[in-house]
Amino acid sequence: MLFSVVAPRYDIVTRLLSLGGDARWKRHLIRMLPLQISGTLVDIATGTGDIAEMLAERYTAARVVAVDLNPQMIERARRRLLRYGRRVDIVEADMAELPVGTGTVSAVTGGYAVRNAPSVEGAVTELARVLQPGGRLVLLDFARSVNRITFAFQYRLLRFWGQLWGTILHGDPEVYGYIARSLARFPDRNAFRQLLASHSLRVVRTKRLYFGLLEIVSAVKEIGER
Of the candidates 42, 38, 37, the residue with the CA atom closest to the CA atom of residue 93: 42
Per-residue pLDDT at 26: 96
Rounded to whole angstroms, how far apart are CA atoms 111 and 190?
19
Across the chain, the runs of DSSP E, i.e. the strands, are 39-44, 62-68, 88-92, 105-111, 131-142, 201-209, 214-221
Per-residue pLDDT at 82: 95
Per-residue pLDDT at 15: 78
Per-residue pLDDT at 1: 43
CATH topology of domain 2-145+187-221: Rossmann fold (3.40.50)
Give the residue extent of every domain in the chain. Answer: 2-145+187-221
Query: What is this structure's pTM?
Result: 0.90
Of the candidates 130, 107, 103, the residue with the CA atom closest to the CA atom of residue 220: 107
Q: Are 21 and 112 in contact (CB under 8 A)?
A: no
Backbone angles phi, psi at 213, to 5 degrees: -70, -30
Over the chain (226 residues), what is each successive 10-residue block's mean pLDDT?
54 75 94 95 96 97 96 93 95 96 98 94 98 97 93 89 82 78 92 97 95 94 71
Q: Which amino acid is at 205?
A: R
